[in-house]
Chain A
Amino acid sequence: MGKYIVRRLLQMIPVILGATFLIYAMVFALPGDPTAGKCGERPCPPAYVAKFREEHNLNDPLLVQYGKYLGKLAQGDLGTSFYGIPVKEELAKRYVTTGKLALMAVAWETLIGIFAGVLAGIRKGKFIDNLVLVSTLLVISIPVFVIGATLQMFLGVRMGLFPVTVSSQATFYELLLPSFVLASASVAYIARLTRANMVENLRADYVRTAIAKGLTRRRAVGLHTLRNSLIPVVTYIGVDIGALLGGAIVTERIFNIQGVGGFLFRSIGARDGVAVVGTVTALVVVYLFANLLVDLLYGVLDPRISHD
């Protein structure tokens, strides 16, 4: 187990290097001038442009720029964005909001997704099963910006049940609706995944054994079948946490949430190379750790999988 974790951590190094270099190269190759629009209606004075380019190493060749960036990165410095804000500080602030949003989205997924999936699975072919299948299909096929804007319009603006935008405090109540919107597609996937696994496992021999042991149906289904059916579901949720922690560009924009996704989006628009690379590096690291966690969790959930 310990050896496995060390090996996985070591494997992260080339992945992080590769990912940061790719992003760095792509930002480098982007057309456009980062100083454009920095000085109001007129072009910036040449002296300012020269100073700006010097400060951000923009005159160096790609590999030198990247090398200098890596040097700082190794010291835990994500650099200063073109707007003069340290990327690390900005991310730290925004990760609180993104983390809250992701956590609440996962709560929706787990509660509604698994509940609906189990219900549909044990009543296969019945009304509730068809209801779940049709409604999840609907949710999966509608893009998230449509779901988000529609719910915001009806539940927020018209009925006034939920706040329409999220303040910088990002309270629990404010995030209820956005996190639901963010979770909607995953709720549908999880419901379907749970249902499929329940249906399959209910036919399994060990469930027949559980019945033959004289266990109550509640125990045979709710413990023996569900425990096995949740293995792939938990894996999916784990991977999804990694994705959610990467920020939600669309949902954050609809509800004006000050999260990581919005920051990344704005930085790309502003050709803010340092901020983009810094953010993506953080996202890659978070995603890698989420994946490692999922793999470790898999070993805990399914004793047949060994990490030795």
Chain B
Amino acid sequence: MRSIIKKYAIIILIVLILLVITMAVSIVYGSKSIILSTVWEAFIRYDTEDMDHLIIHTSRLPRVLGALLIGAFMAVSGALMQGMTRNYLASPSIMGVADGSVFVITLCMIFLPDAAPMTLILYSLAGSALGALLVFSIARLLPDGMTPLTLAILGTILGTFLNGISQAMATYFQISQNMSFWYNARLHQMDPTLIKWTVPFAIAGLFLAIYVSKAITAISFGDEVAQGLGIKITAMKSLTILSVVILTGISVAMQGKLLLSA
């Protein structure tokens, strides 16, 4: 046990160092290279007149932070999903999460054209939940639908379906351009206020994830084992799904459809 904790600490340390290096590199390099001392200055003495400082504060930093958060969220929800379903192929990106969001956002743009961006983000969350729910409930109905292969196939196919319907509706109501604007103009113009807004959700989602992580370890050995250890399986699974939906939902809302890292 002791050695595991030691190993854990070392890995965390290495990853943190790598993280800082990548962030620094990502802030320094770009279409306009900014030297490190200027970057440092931008943090300690922010000068709104200085072009370089402005670039760092409004474009590079939000982008790096956004990428960091999304990566973390996707990886955490991927781990939760794989543990819960005991399925090494499970990943939010192939479980209809992104496509569900696209579907609901399309509906919103048609029926609530004046919705504020923040409302849209909430709907995007709901859509992600809907997509995941659709895939899992159909998988439950099928014979051996919860096996890794079938679940992966189902997720992809139902994703195609939701995407097709969204595209059909977007074409019918002629809002394709708004849609692609909402989804495609993302990571490179991450909105700082959007990141701030997602913080409470992120904290809730991550807190839930840590809270259920022990139970998930038990569940990954099989439901019977977990039950024997006195874990409330249904409650824990529901909390896990909630956490996954929150984390992937805000990631989709932040960056659109590029869900790869899980």
B is a partner of A: no
Chain B positions near chain A (C-beta within 8 angstroms): none
